[in-house]
Amino acid sequence: MAARRISSLLSASLPFLSHRGKQSYLSRGIYHYSKSASLDNPIKPPVTVQYDKLLINGQFVEAASGKTFPTLDPRSGEVIAHVSEGDLEDVNRAVASARKAFDEGPWPKMTAYERSKIMFRFADLIEKHNDEIAALETWDNGKPFEQSAKIEVPMLARLFRYYGGWADKIHGLTIRGDGPHHVQTLHEPIGVAGQIIPWNFPLLMFAWKVGPALACGNTVVLKTAEQTPLSALFVSKLLHEAGLPDGVLNVVSGFGPTAGAALCSHMDVDKLAFTGSTETGKLVLELAAKSNLKTVTLELGGKSPFIVCEDADVDKAVELAHFALFFNQGQCCCAGSRTFVHEKVYDEFVEKAKERALKRAVGDPFKAGMEQGPQIDGEQFKKILKYIKSGVESGATLEAGGDRFGTKGYYIQPTVFSNVKDDMLIAKDEIFGPVQTVLKFKELGEVIRRANNSPFGLAAGVFTQNLDTANTLTRALRAGTVWINCFDTFDAAIPFGGYKMSGIGREKGEYSLKNYLQVKAVVTALKDPAWL
Amino acid sequence: MAARRISSLFSRSLSLPTAPASLGFGRGMQRFTSSAAVIDEPIIPPLQINYTKLLINGQFVDSASGKTFPTLDPRTGEVIAHVAEGDAEDINRAVSAARKAFDEGPWPRMTAYERSRIMLRFADLAEKHTQELAQLETWDNGKPYEQALTAELPLFVRLFHYYAGWADKIHGLTVPADGPHHVQVLHEPIGVAGQIIPWNFPLLMLAWKVGPALACGNTIVLKSAEQTPLTALYVAKLFQEAGLPDGVLNVVSGYGSTAGAALASHMDVDKLAFTGSTNTGKVVLELAARSNLKPVTLELGGKSPFIVCDDADVDHAVELAHFALFFNQGQCCCAGSRTYVHERIYDEFVDKAKARALGRTVGDPFKNGIEQGPQIDLKQFEKVLRYIKSGIDSDATLECGGDRFGSKGYFVQPTVFSNVKDDMLIAQDEIFGPVQSILKFKDVDKVIKRANATRYGLAAGVFTTNIDKANTISRGLKAGTVWINCYDIFDAAIPFGGYKMSGIGREKGVYSLNNYLQVKSVISPLKNPAWL
């Protein structure tokens, strides 16, 4: 399965959203989903596809094989554009160009300040083209246009300003020696970075990967997901307009087993970052191990618990839990996909969660007020319906949804299961769709054990007013992010990544920089030092 | 091949002189063929071997299979002791002890101050037992007793003081948010750490691995090298005495393909650290990828350049280059094993390097004044001799040495080749023995290119008094450590690790801590914040 990942969303600096679900614009269109917009005539996106080739050494070029692949509109399954299909030979060309740009080119040799200015100019250009980029993202991915235009594209600009600011703040250390030695560490760019991004947040994943790599002075070969190749090509063009030297960022559209595997196995790639499924992540690491031991960071799957304690304001908890799961059509690897609710409030919660799901506005993502668009493609669509069937068969109670939505494209009804047990498949596997599973718990110790009883450890939600409960849960949960009374807060400075089989390493924040730096210790003998 | 690694050695705090011309190891300037070692009657240390079993959950136990293996004296190839041989079942027992100690035991739950005090008490005990430990290390490994006693043991103690000091200084961060959220980052222990150490510096490698793991609150399953199991068991006993709770440090003696592979593949091991050969490192990473994606740090092979510029004081350079290669019988992964000498001083350098090698004192490592003991075992001994033959066959000039030393045990004559070319096997492969290869260079740019033309990138030496050359070369070299006018300075605070296929990650220094920490972001909304 291709890759995927979630964005930043509920931040007060994005004034149209508050962290309290009830006031979220996403929940404004409160009508029953089955009555929402007609899906038979998709709205024509306000954008044209300008870039459909590979970007290698600053030039848009055809694939060496001449092959293309169609990228589809998830609303209809129809072709948006035919895109050059990169494979091994194109990855070789792209890596050679990145290698040259690193070894000889101006990029790592210019000042950090100059690099930062190019990144800032890029952020300005993103802002200028906000709606165009957002339309492309929605067209290719199916996510609500309002979400793209008001949250994700602004966040893309914000992330590049964040990383632009880091470029001239990468410090090494000087170190006390145990003897007459002058010791320093240099934090050097690592070289050519291979980056493989998923289809669920194509632009944000672009920023999480490309931002720190460029800030640290590296060059990049980026492989986009075959489902969503378009927005990366568009913004990469803007990055060159901003002054990025040729060869510093190369973009290869294509498939995992061909282009992706070639990048992972390449002997001249110094670092690899991958976001996607756990299964593919294991393969990526294995290819790195078998080739040149390139360092690998992985952001993988999850089955994140959302724990609603007995002291909860049920209405707020329902809204937040709903958002935690259904956001982005449920296509978030940190989706709060195991909703654990205390038995004292369980029945009320289930009733209200069902109501909320029934009101979710599903429809053409280009229509105003839509909360939910189609799933990314036929494969995901079928997989989700299979899981829904499995939930029904395993004896969970289907409270809402349960089927496709409409008759065209990959829309799925917001679905809620109650009476879910830990050993059911829907409580164990990552569904990656709009399927909420509500489980019951009694005691804190018990819910901690159950929440941790998963090969994943990406994120967790905790809903409580009690400080002790919050602290106990926060420390005990084996998860890379714990959101307390909030969810999916994705500020640039907050590190993100997984415990256990949810991944290796952290992205965003200060922590992301060391993924793209080598540490060199330089030790010099001292003669007659004034101090040690 | 089993693993191996180098230590810190020349530090003023270890009261050894720092100017190479007056090195302790350089005192015995007699021709090695006439050195007075009595290898036929090895000096037997006044020591009883008390600990030969596996240490699991605080108890010395037989292996589940009841099997043992002999650990041999490299001076003679004779058996020192029969040691319990751990395999997959013993690893399972050890991991479950470590798991329980982490999940339920007092270790991660006591204060960091209490952990630091146990580590400090251990350091005191190690100091108290310095002689026994040094004797055991020399007996099992064959390194000069003076080196073990006056350099390695003090450094071992120093490393535990260093890491004990870190235990209560592991800070997380609070993070500026983009909205009304309180963001903090917790640095948590990662859990059960699997650690596989080599035979070349058994005690120091134990300190590099166990020190940061314990300081961060983890529990450990340590697999020692089958060539050198004895000191780790002794040390583990001292840890029990110092108050380490049962199950926190488990030691399994055994082989890589059985015990090592079981540890690397174990689904309940949260982190793996390995020091050894690049080939084995690749397998270790592959096993981690195929099992549970445990993060892996690797310290692997090297073919480190030692660059002598034309402004060099030749005598001084010869002495340092000699030390860089021959130290520890050449069994250092950061050995300066490609000696690049500027053409202007090449002939003089070669003559003096030859004279220095001929003056090297080889003999029974328990004898005073001995600089070089035997190689670790027959396999290494034969491999080193094979490489010497390859050097002769490929037309390098054999200046001295070239054969075994004496007729018993695994001693090899200090060997020097001149007129070595980059494409000869002896200039490309890691020999891991007392074989110096001297190459000629003309200008700085070219020597940087040649020095970097290897799959390795562990360390480098630069010998110059010119600040521009020092700066140019130290930035240009792709190596994790650059020693300028010194070599093998291994202070506790200096990070160590490889570029390229020499490894992943850094050990020692502040950098080593994050190998043993998980990063957890904790976010909660703020009501009416006084500031953001």
pLDDT at A12 over 60: no
Per-residue confidence (pLDDT) for residue B135, from 0 to 100 = 98
Mutual angle of helices B130-141 and B112-128, in 10-degree steps? 70
* CB-based contact A455 B300, cutoff 8 Å: no
CB contact under 8 A, B491 and A183: yes
Q: Min CA distance, B101 vs chain A (Å)?
A: 15
Render pLDDT for B382-393 as a digit per residue (tens, 0 to 9). 999 999 999 999
Rounded to the nearest angstrom, the minimum Cα separation between B49 and chain A is 33
Q: What is the mean pLDDT of residues B413-437?
A: 98
Closest chain B residue by Cα to residue A462: B524
Residue A496 pLDDT greater than 70, yes or no: yes
Instruction: Judge whether A63 and A85 are in contact, CB under 8 Å.
Output: yes
CA dist., res. A88 & res. B378, Å (int): 44
* Active-site annotation holds for B333: yes
B282 contacts in A (CB within 8 Å)?
289-290, 293
> Is residue A2 pLDDT above 80, yes or no?
no
From chain A, pick out residues whose CB is under 8 angstroms from the CB of B494: 175, 177, 183, 521, 523
A494 contacts B183? CB cut-off 8 A = yes
Q: Tell me, what's the pLDDT at A36?
A: 46
DSSP single-letter state for residue A318: H
Nearest-Cα distance to chain B for A364, in Å, is 30
Phi and psi of B414, rounded to 5°?
-60, 125
Range with lowest mean pLDDT among A16-25, A85-94, A237-246, A384-393? A16-25
* pLDDT higher than 50, residue B454: yes
Question: pTM of the full predicted structure?
Answer: 0.91
- Tell me the mean pLDDT in the region A490-517: 98
Residue B438 CA to chain centroid, in angstroms? Answer: 24
Mean pLDDT of chain A: 93
pLDDT score for A155: 98
Can you give the pLDDT at residue B416? 98
Judge: B293–A503 Cβ closer than 8 Å, yes or no.
yes
State pLDDT tens for residues B88-124: 999 999 999 999 999 999 999 999 999 999 999 999 9
Q: What pLDDT is stored for residue B27 in this prediction?
A: 33
User: B416 pairs with which residues across the strands?
Assistant: B400, B436
CA angle A353, A358, A363 (to 5 degrees): 130
Whole-angstrom CA distances from B257 to B64, B234, B250, B281 are 17, 24, 19, 12
* Closest approach of B15 to chain A, Cα-based (Å): 10
- 3-state DSSP percent of chain B in helix, strand and coil, to 5: 40, 20, 40
Tokens linked to B146: 């003076």
Nearest Cβ partner for A491 among B177, B470, B474: B177
CB contact under 8 A, B489 and A293: no
SS (H, E, C) B296-365: EEEECCCCEEEEECCCCCHHHHHHHHHHHHHHHHHCCCCCEEEEEEEHHHHHHHHHHHHHHHHCCCECCC
Whole-number average pLDDT of chain B: 93
Tell how strand B54-56 and strand B59-61 pair up: antiparallel
A500/B10 CB distance under 8 A: no
Q: Among A26-40, A96-110, A333-347, A449-463, where is mean pLDDT lowest?
A: A26-40
- The tens digit of pLDDT for each residue in B244-270 reads 999 999 999 999 999 999 999 999 999
pLDDT at B298 over 70: yes
- DSSP per-residue codes, A445-512: HHHHHHHH-SS--SEEEEE-S-HHHHHHHHHHS--SEEEES------TTS-B--SGGGEES-BSTGGG
A30-34, A179-183, A302-306, A338-342: the lowest-pLDDT one: A30-34
Q: Residue B290: which of A183, A282, A496 has the nearest Cβ?
A: A282
Retrieve residue B352's tokens: 């003096």
- Which candidate from A286, A293, A495 shows the least CB-CB separation from B521? A495
Residue A47 has pLDDT above 70, yes or no: yes
Give residue-wise pLDDT tens across range A318-328.
Answer: 999 999 999 99
Distance of CA A494 to the CA centre of its chain: 14
Quick check: B480 and A521 CB within 8 A?
yes
- Put simply, the answer to whether A181 touches B491 (Cβ < 8 Å) is yes
Q: How confident is the model at residue A40 (pLDDT cuts 50, 70, 90)?
A: confident
Interchain proximity A523–B504, CB inside 8 Å: no
3-state secondary structure of A403: coil
Residues of chain A in contact with residue B278, where contact means CB-CB under 8 angstroms, are: 293
CA distance A245 to A83: 24
Chain-chain contact of A293 with B518 (C-beta, under 8 angstroms): no
Please report the pLDDT score of residue B144 as a whole number.
98
Residues 6+ apart with CB under 8 A from A358: A32, A33, A400, A414
List the single residue in A188, A286, A495 with the smallest CB-CB distance to B185: A495
Closest-CA distance, A137 to chain B, in angstroms, reads 24
Chain A neighbors of B159, CB-CB under 8 A: none
Report the candidate in B10, B12, B27 with the shortest Cα–Cα distance to residue B371.
Answer: B27
Q: Which residue of B has its CA nearest to A473?
A: B522
Pick the catalytic residue from B216, B333, B334, B400.
B333
Q: Chain B residue with minimal CA distance to A519? A: B480
Instruction: Give dist(CA A72, CA B250) in Å, integer.
Output: 55
- How far is residue B303's CA from residue A126's CA, in Å, rounded to a whole number? 46
CA A284, CA A277: separation in Å to the nearest integer?
A: 10
The shortest C-alpha distance from A293 to chain B (Å) reads: 6
Tokens coding A408: 């065209």
pLDDT of residue A35: 44
pLDDT at B34: 41
* Interface contact A483-B523, CB threshold 8 A: yes
SS3 B134: helix
Structure tokens at B94: 């050890």
Cα A184 to the center of its chain, rounded Å: 36
Residue B71 near residue B140, CB atoms below 8 Å = yes
Chain A residues closer than 8 Å to B523 by CB = 481-484, 486, 489, 494
Testing the interface with B: which of A280, A494, A526 to mutate, by most B Cβ within 10 A?
A494
User: In the beta sheet, which residues pair with residue B190?
Assistant: none
Of A85, A132, A226, A299, which is the active-site residue? A299
Substitution target in B287, B522, B527 with the highest count of A β-carbons within 10 Å is B522
Model confidence band, residue A39 (pLDDT cutoffs 50, 70, 90): confident
- Nearest CB among B10, B470, B494 relative to A521 is that of B494
Place B188 in a pLDDT band, splitting at 50, 70 and 90: very high
Nearest CB neighbour to B285, from listed A179, A285, A494: A285
Decide if A493 and B178 are in contact by the 8 Å CB cutoff. Answer: yes
Q: What is the pLDDT of residues B305-345, one digit of tens each?
A: 999 999 999 999 999 999 999 999 999 999 999 999 999 99
Q: Are A246 and A55 in contact (CB under 8 A)?
A: no
- ipTM computed for the complex: 0.87
Average pLDDT over residues A367-394: 98
pLDDT bucket at A38, cuts 50 / 70 / 90: low
pLDDT-derived band at B39, boundaries 50, 70, 90: low
User: Could you give the 3-state DSSP secondary structure of residue B131?
Assistant: helix
Chain A residues lying within 8 Å of B506, measured CB to CB: 519
Give me the catalytic one of B299, B319, B399, B507: B299
- Cβ–Cβ < 8 Å for B474, B495: no
- Comparing alpha-carbon positions, the chain A residue that sits nearest to B489 is A523
Query: Token match 């829907």: residue?
Result: A426
All structural domains of chain A: 54-300+506-518 (3.40.605.10), 305-501 (3.40.309.10)
Which residue among B285, B518, B524 places its CB closest to the CB of A486? B524
Q: How many CB pairs under 8 A join A and B?
A: 217
Query: Does B494 contact A179 at a Cβ distance shorter than 8 Å?
Result: no
How far is residue B27's CA from residue A221's CA, in Å, rounded to a whole number? 54
Q: Taking CB atoms and an 8 Å limit, are A491 and B525 in contact across chains? A: no
Whether the predicted pLDDT of B19 surpasses 60: no
Does the pLDDT of residue A29 top 50, yes or no? no
User: Which residues of A fall within a CB distance of 8 Å from B485?
Assistant: 524-525
Q: Do B282 and A289 touch (CB under 8 A)?
A: yes
- The arithmetic mean of pLDDT across residues B415-425, rounded, is 98
Task: Answer yes or no: is pLDDT of B162 > 90.
Answer: yes
* A3 Cα to chain B: minimum distance (Å): 17
- Cβ within 8 Å, pair A293-B501: yes
Pick from B340, B371, B348: nearest CA to B358: B371
Residue A16 has pLDDT above 90, yes or no: no
| Residue of chain B whose Cα is closest to the Cα of A13 | B179
Residues A508 and B521: their CA atoms lie apart, in Å, by 11
pLDDT at A485: 97
Best of B520, B526, B528 to disrupt the A interface (most A CBs within 10 Å) is: B520
